[in-house]
Amino acid sequence: MRRRASLVLLSLAVLCAALAPTLRWYAFPRLAKIPANQYQETVLEARPATLLDYSTLKAEKVDKITIVQTLKGNVEESRRIERDAGRDVVVWDALSYVAGPDGKMVSKIPERYIFDAHTQEPVHATGESVDGDPVRRDGIEFKFPFLTEKRDYQYFDAQTRTSAPIHFAGTRTFRGTEVYYFEQTVPWTKVPMPKTMPVKGITPQILADSGLTRWYTTKRMFWVEPVTGAPVNGEEIHKEELRNAKALMGRDTITVFEGHVKMREDYLESIGEMVASNRLMVLMLVSYLPWSLTLLALLLLSLSLWLEARSRRPADRPGVAAPVSPPV
């Protein structure tokens, strides 16, 4: 009876020992993914800020500028692209909507970001765009990979339509959570005019014909929860200018927008709660369950060996005497 129980425990130990690496190295890469129908809204503010008043063509100080950033999963497009790509794909229709202190639109730039649901690497397909212009992304955008590493990543900048390294700058603690801090500085770069302008009748073509050019620089900062790869905080020190403006505005250079953009407090809290929930699910696959199964396998193996040893001791059996050595 003890030997039969020992074999059962040994079988369970082998099963647990096999499941532990299977969960970590086989199940996790396939199960951990961004849902195709995800919707997320984030509100950021610059307080105070400098903003161009198009009615006077002068840059003025304002109390705040609000940026509403939405990410909406396009399920139909995801399925269409998956058929050709042969892998799980997410399509995010993103919109960055900038409003002045009066709530009126300053600019809005739509994007379509197509990426691998598991790795967050871009998937190049028809429709990949920024403000209606086709682009070919190199590197990540919006989110870092699951199990983010302490290294630099290529990060796509929507304004310049190019990618550049975003540098790992150390481990920090943000609201009680250990995070990885990343920084990217985009130097002054000539960028396209937004397709949608805040003043009716003014188009990018009219501005281009006048000789105006738009320039942009930013310092981008992310505090990333490394298990999920989700930023729990993001900030930008952002500046835009119109140049070659002397003939039209009396000055060669005029500020369009300048400010330190930060996430609004209520969104910091809601994003923190969402990331904490997702972090637990990822840790179950990569750490908690594999280690629990490994320890359980060792415990079952120990019990199996103990029972096997007990079954081989005749003295422990009722009515069986221990063997006696013959006299010499």
pLDDT for the residue 321: 52
Q: What is the pTM of this model?
A: 0.87
pLDDT for the residue 323: 55
pLDDT for the residue 245: 74
Classify 204 as helix, strand or coil. Answer: helix
Q: Are residue 6 and residue 85 in the same domain, yes or no?
A: no
Residue 201 lies in a domain: yes
Residue 228 lies in a domain: yes
* DSSP structure string for 124-143: --TT-EETTEE----SB-SS
Residue 224 lies in a domain: yes
pLDDT of 248 > 90? The answer is: no
Query: What is the arithmetic mean of pLDDT over 260-281?
Result: 93
Q: Are residue 87 and residue 166 in the same domain, yes or no?
A: yes
Q: pLDDT tens digits, residue range 275-298?
A: 999 999 999 999 989 899 999 889
Q: pLDDT tens digits, residue range 38-81?
A: 999 999 999 999 998 877 778 899 999 999 999 999 999 999 99
Q: pLDDT tens digits, residue range 138-172?
A: 999 999 999 999 999 999 999 999 999 999 999 99
pLDDT for the residue 328: 46
| Rounded Cα–Cα distance for residues 220 and 260 (Å) | 10
| 199-202 contacts at long range (C-beta below 8 A, 24 or more positions apart) | 199/54, 199/55, 202/54
Q: Is 258 exposed, middle or buried (0-12, 13-18, 19+ CB in 10 A)?
A: buried
| Rounded Cα–Cα distance for residues 178 and 189 (Å) | 34
Query: Average pLDDT over the chain, rounded to whole?
Result: 89
pLDDT for the residue 150: 97
Q: Are residue 156 and residue 300 in the same domain, yes or no?
A: no
Q: 13: pLDDT confidence band, cut at 50, 70 and 90? A: confident
Q: Are residue 245 and residue 302 in the same domain, yes or no?
A: no
Cα separations (Å) of 194 from 159, 203, 264, 298?
Answer: 9, 9, 25, 62
Q: Which residue has the higher pLDDT, 320 or 182?
A: 182
Q: Are residue 173 and residue 299 in the same domain, yes or no?
A: no
| Rounded Cα–Cα distance for residues 114 and 126 (Å) | 9
Q: Say what angle helices 289-311 and 2-22 make with each other, to 10 degrees.
A: 160
Q: Are residue 153 and residue 9 in the same domain, yes or no?
A: no
Residue 323 lies in a domain: no
Q: 200: pLDDT confidence band, cut at 50, 70 and 90? A: confident
Q: pLDDT tens digits, residue range 68-123?
A: 999 999 999 999 999 888 899 999 999 999 999 988 899 999 999 999 999 999 99
Q: Are residue 221 and residue 120 in the same domain, yes or no?
A: yes
Residue 269 lies in a domain: no
pLDDT of 324 > 70? The answer is: no
pLDDT for the residue 190: 95
pLDDT for the residue 156: 96
Within 8 A by CB and 6+ apart from 174, the residues are 223, 232, 233
Q: 319: pLDDT confidence band, cut at 50, 70 and 90? A: low
Q: 271: pLDDT confidence band, cut at 50, 70 and 90? A: very high
Q: Are residue 16 and residue 38 in the same domain, yes or no?
A: no
| Rounded Cα–Cα distance for residues 107 and 52 (Å) | 12
pLDDT of 180 > 70? The answer is: yes
pLDDT of 21 > 80? The answer is: yes
**C-alpha 292 chain-centroid distance:** 28
Residue 276 lies in a domain: no
Q: Are residue 78 and residue 188 in the same domain, yes or no?
A: yes
Residue 239 lies in a domain: yes
* Parent domain of 291: 2-22+284-315
pLDDT for the residue 250: 67
Look at the chain and report how many structural domains it folds into. 2
Residue 279 lies in a domain: no
Tell me the percentage of the chain whose pLDDT exceeds 70: 93
Q: Are residue 38 and residue 164 in the same domain, yes or no?
A: yes
Q: Are residue 52 and residue 18 in the same domain, yes or no?
A: no
Q: Are residue 119 and residue 16 in the same domain, yes or no?
A: no
pLDDT for the residue 92: 96
Residue 16's closest CA among 306, 308, 309, 299? 299
Q: 24: pLDDT confidence band, cut at 50, 70 and 90? A: confident
